[in-house]
């Protein structure tokens, strides 16, 4: 990955200096090896903190709704797709944000690498283009970055920002994958097998809501799952309660999920949360020929009515 | 203190013997992460691991438990208390930080002032055989919070890995009784010397202590400080830190009822959630991330000292390694500490 940190710093400095942004939301070095962390830069002197590497996985558009003033935001392809939706849903005003688009080559899953290190303490990480050289007391491993990408990044077809004010570096080559092979494969299983898979995944959930809170499109002021009057969903980690939370959340995100994978990255207990959301995306594509977060002027399929909308779900009585 | 020894190759037999008499939980790999789970045999138990993703607190405070169930009809109400008899239970292979967390939970749920019968029912049967840390992680900071990679506080027996064997430190009477029953060999002089060497080597690997003298006083003066807002700006206000934490213990109680039959259920809750402090009037004294994160820090590093004379953190580092945005509690504490020193808040 070309070092884009210095270009990002330059751009951030320019925006702050000219007063075109009050704050820049970007990444700084994390406190752990193989880790970057969100940061909020308000002074020109602090732009030196900004970095860019393959560990900048967080979807920073999550912070846009809360942010005050004019905001400059570092955004990958998926992050810009979320911004498109946020603007469409009138949560963010286009003129309030400056998008510093950064082409992405897929983000590396720190936990996959940690597993390869088998609990040995990492003391140094060296970036050698396509590989990371990881060393520690009892450790000397070379890891190919593209073998440790997040599952969402492996099937991503929008590595380049879809909307931006400034583009950093040169565009990435888009992956030519059949977008929904995973969904088709899962659909091919028997209903018992699918039920078993989903209920097993759900059984791991601890209801910490990291998935929801990391999601850029989960911005409801009061989530249905928190409501107490009336209480829609039980609060236990029993199968019914947990499954209901995940299914309802997934349906609420139908046609809105931009498949950034923030939910899955945030989950501490490896729940395959994307499984349900991917199915929603595939259905929305099939029923409405719509892919989320690409075009600011394209109406959202589930908030618009067209006389020729697919009505496969209607029952003939 | 008594020191016994056991060959590593004999550990499976040791566990399989214990299983006949006790309920045992041990670290196993499940769905790509290490967790503590009840085991039926020694197969799959892993002892070369850093720490589990979830803490073993669930064995004494389950994520949800039915306290009572009831049913009513026109003239009578029947209430059943759910205090099932517990089988003797061994938590095997827990890290010393987690063993210490049980001492902390005891102060909250089972001291002279507070006695939670549901907690006590589970806790009374627990025997902890912990495993000292020869490979502390970059997220470990147990030495800052009063523990250490071989701290014996909270453990009944503590294992120290000296290569082909484990030394078993006998900490409590309960531990001694078990060891006596199993007829283990006494450790030899050279083995004890090796144990000391292992312990020293490991202690040297832990990151230096955060220098936080009188942190509590400084925190108490920082409540209205401006740093909280900037420090918590990236927080997502999710419950990862609290739910994985071995000492976080807050709960909610709900009644679930249908057709005059119901259950009163206790469920983990988190101070990071907005509804945790939502009042019936609709007023919320901790409306934003700032107040909620501040509560977590103040509770652990100030209020717990007032209430239990113990810091409410054992330095296991789970909240650091699993935080989705890498909000590192060590950095927060250091940052608050030094900004308070310089009088910025």
Do residues A217 and A85 make contact, with C-beta atoms less than 8 angstroms apart?
yes
Placement of tokens 């495993």 in the chain: B131
Whether the Cβ atoms of residue B122 and residue B60 lie closer than 8 Å to each other? yes
Q: Is A250 helix (H, G, I), strand (E, B) or coil?
A: helix
Nearest to A257 by CA among A44, A68, A25, A81: A81
**Whole-number pLDDT of residue B345:** 44
Cβ <8 Å between A212 and B238: yes
Q: What is the pLDDT of residues A211-228, one digit of tens each?
A: 999 999 999 999 999 998
- Are the C-beta atoms of B197 and B312 separated by less than 8 Å? no
For residue B74, what are the CA distances in angstroms to B68, B79, B81?
20, 15, 21
Q: Which residues neighbour A300 within 8 Å (Cβ) at sequence distance 6 or greater?
A: A85, A88, A89, A255, A256, A290, A292
- In A, which residues are within 8 Å of B330 by CB distance? 31
Residue A178: exposed, middle, or buried by beta-carbon count in 10 A (0-12, 13-18, 19+)?
exposed
Q: Which residue of A has its CA nearest to B279?
A: A228
Beta strand spans in chain A (E): 23-29, 36-41, 71-75, 97-101, 122-128, 131-136, 139-144, 166-167
> The tokens of A250 are what?
């997934």
Within 8 A of B328 by CB-CB distance, chain A residues are 31-32
SS3 of residue B5 by DSSP: strand
Q: What are phi and psi of A12, to 5 degrees?
A: -60, -45
Judge whether residue A316 has pLDDT over 80: no
Coarse DSSP helix, strand, coil percentages of chain B, rounded to the nearest 5 percent: 35, 25, 40
Closest-CA residue of B relative to A214 is B236
Residues B98/B314, Cβ–Cβ less than 8 Å: yes
Q: Of B44, B35, B56, which is closest to residue A203 (Cα–Cα)?
A: B35
Note if the bond before A230 is cis, omega within 30 degrees: yes
Sequence-distant (6+) residues with CB within 8 A of B20 are none
Residue contact B275–A226, C-beta within 8 A: yes
Count of A-B CB contacts under 8 Å: 113
Q: Is the Cα torsion angle B57, A32, B230, A54 positive or negative in sign? A: negative
Nearest to B129 by CA among B288, B215, B15, B233: B15
Tell which of B233, B287, B296, B326 to mutate to test the A interface (max A CBs under 10 Å).
Answer: B326
Q: Name which of A119, A208, A228 is nearest B238 (Cβ-Cβ).
A: A208
Return the bridge partners of B268, or none: B251
In B32-124, which ranges are E strands? 33-39, 64-72, 77-81, 89-94
The angle subtended at Cα A297 by Cα A294 and Cα A299, nearest 5°, is 90
- Rounded to 10°, the helix B329-341/B289-298 angle is 90
Distance (Å, whole) CA B38 – CA B45: 10
Q: What is the pLDDT of residue A214?
A: 98
Classify residue B288 by its DSSP letter.
S
Q: Tokens standing for A203?
A: 């059984």
Per-residue pLDDT reduced to its tens digit, A132-170: 899 887 788 899 998 999 999 999 999 999 999 999 999
pLDDT in tens, A18-58: 999 999 999 999 999 999 999 999 999 999 999 999 999 99
Q: Cβ separation of B238 and A210 shorter than 8 Å?
A: yes
Which pLDDT belongs to residue B20? 94
Q: What is the pLDDT of residue A121?
A: 79
* Averaged confidence pLDDT in chain A: 93
Please judge whether A39 and B33 are an interchain contact, meaning their C-beta atoms are less than 8 angstroms apart. Answer: no
The dihedral built from the CA positions of residue A49, A55, A58 and A60, taken in this order, carries a sign that is positive
Nearest to A31 among B256, B324, B331 (CB): B331
Which positions in chain B touch A266 (Cβ < 8 Å)?
236, 238, 240, 324
**Cα dihedral A250, A252, A255, A261 in deg (nearest 10):** -40
CB B319 within 8 A of CB B246: no
| Interatomic CA distance for residues B290 and B126, integer angstroms | 37
Q: Which residues of B fall within a CB distance of 8 Å from A137? A: 205
User: How far A57 CA lies from chain B's nearest CA (Å)?
Assistant: 10
* Intervals of chain B under pLDDT 70: 209, 211, 340-345
Contact A206, B248 (CB under 8 A): no
Which sequence spans correspond to the domains of chain A? 1-106+156-177, 110-148, 178-293
Each residue's pLDDT tens digit, A248-265: 999 999 999 999 999 999
CB-based contact A121 B254, cutoff 8 Å: no
Region label for B163, one of left (φ > 0), alpha (ψ between -120 and 50) or beta (otherwise): left
B53/A238 CB distance under 8 A: no
Cβ atoms < 10 Å from Cβ of A238: 14
C-alpha–C-alpha distance, residues A220 and A231, integer Å = 16
Interchain contact, B243 vs A37, CB within 8 Å:
no
Other beta carbons within 10 angstroms of residue B105's beta carbon come to: 21
Residues B233, A40: C-beta atoms closer than 8 Å: yes
Cβ-based burial of A270 (10 A; exposed 0-12, middle 13-18, buried ≥19): middle
């Amino acid at each position: 990955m070309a070092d884009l940190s210095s270009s990002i710093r330059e751009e951030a400095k320019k925006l702050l200096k000219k007063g075109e942004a009050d704050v820049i939301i970007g990444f700084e070095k994390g406190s752990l090896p193989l880790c970057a962390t969100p940061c909020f830069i308000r002074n020109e002197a602090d732009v030196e903190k900004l970095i860019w590497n393959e560990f900048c996985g967080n979807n920073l558009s999550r912070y846009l709704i809360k942010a005050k003033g004019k905001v400059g935001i570092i955004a990958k392809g998926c992050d810009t797709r979320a911004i498109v939706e946020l603007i469409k849903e009138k949560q963010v005003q286009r003129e309030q944000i400056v998008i510093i688009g950064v082409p992405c080559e897929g983000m590396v899953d720190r936990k996959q690498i940690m597993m390869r290190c088998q609990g040995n303490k990492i003391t140094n990480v060296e970036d050698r283009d396509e590989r990371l050289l990881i060393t520690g007391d009892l450790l000397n491993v070379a890891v190919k970055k593209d073998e440790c990408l997040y599952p969402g990044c492996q099937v991503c077809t929008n590595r380049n920002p879809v909307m931006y004010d400034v583009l950093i570096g040169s565009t990435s080559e888009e992956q030519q994958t059949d977008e929904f092979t995973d969904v088709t494969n899962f659909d091919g299983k028997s209903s018992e097998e699918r039920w078993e898979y989903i209920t097993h995944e759900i059984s791991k959930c601890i209801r910490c809501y990291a998935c929801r809170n990391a999601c850029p499109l989960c911005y409801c002021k009061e989530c249905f799952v928190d409501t107490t009057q009336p209480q829609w969903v039980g609060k236990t980690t029993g199968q019914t309660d947990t499954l209901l939370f995940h299914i309802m959340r997934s349906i609420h995100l139908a046609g809105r999920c931009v498949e950034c994978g923030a939910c899955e990255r945030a989950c501490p207990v490896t729940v395959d949360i994307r499984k349900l959301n991917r199915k929603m995306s595939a259905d929305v594509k099939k029923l409405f020929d719509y892919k989320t977060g690409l075009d600011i002027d394209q109406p959202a399929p589930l908030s618009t009515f067209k006389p020729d909308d697919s009505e496969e779900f209607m029952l003939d009585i | 203190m008594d020191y016994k020894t056991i060959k590593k190759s004999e550990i499976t037999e040791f566990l399989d013997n214990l299983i006949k008499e006790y309920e045992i939980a041990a670290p196993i790999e499940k769905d790509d992460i290490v967790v503590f789970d009840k085991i039926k045999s020694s197969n799959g138990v892993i002892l070369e691991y850093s720490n589990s993703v979830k803490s073993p607190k669930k064995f004494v405070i389950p994520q949800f438990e039915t306290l009572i169930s009831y049913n009513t009809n026109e003239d009578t109400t029947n209430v059943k208390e759910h205090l099932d008899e517990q089988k003797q239970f061994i938590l095997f292979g827990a890290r010393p930080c987690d063993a210490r967390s049980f001492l902390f939970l005891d102060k909250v749920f089972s001291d002279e002032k507070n006695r939670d019968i549901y907690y006590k029912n589970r806790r009374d049967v627990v025997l902890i055989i912990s495993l000292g840390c020869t490979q502390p992680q970059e997220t470990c900071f147990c030495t800052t919070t009063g523990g250490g990679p071989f701290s014996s506080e909270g453990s009944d027996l503590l294992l120290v890995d000296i290569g082909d064997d484990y030394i078993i430190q006998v900490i409590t009477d309960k531990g001694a009784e078990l060891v006596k029953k199993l007829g283990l060999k006494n450790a030899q002089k050279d083995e004890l010397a090796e144990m000391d060497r292992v312990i020293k080597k490991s202690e040297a690997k832990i990151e230096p202590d955060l220098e936080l003298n009188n942190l509590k006083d400084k925190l108490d003066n920082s409540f209205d400080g401006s740093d909280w807002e900037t420090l918590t700006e990236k927080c997502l206000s999710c419950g990862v830190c609290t739910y994985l934490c071995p000492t976080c213990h807050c709960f909610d109680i709900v009644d679930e009822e249908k057709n005059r039959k119901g259950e009163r259920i206790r469920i983990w809750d988190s101070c990071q959630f907005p509804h945790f402090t939502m009042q019936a009037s609709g007023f919320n004294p901790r409306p934003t991330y700032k107040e909620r994160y501040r509560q977590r820090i103040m509770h652990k590093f100030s209020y717990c000292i007032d209430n239990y004379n113990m810091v409410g953190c054992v330095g296991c580092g789970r909240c650091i390694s699993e935080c989705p945005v890498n909000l590192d509690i060590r950095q927060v504490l250091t940052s608050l500490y030094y900004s308070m020193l310089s009088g910025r808040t």
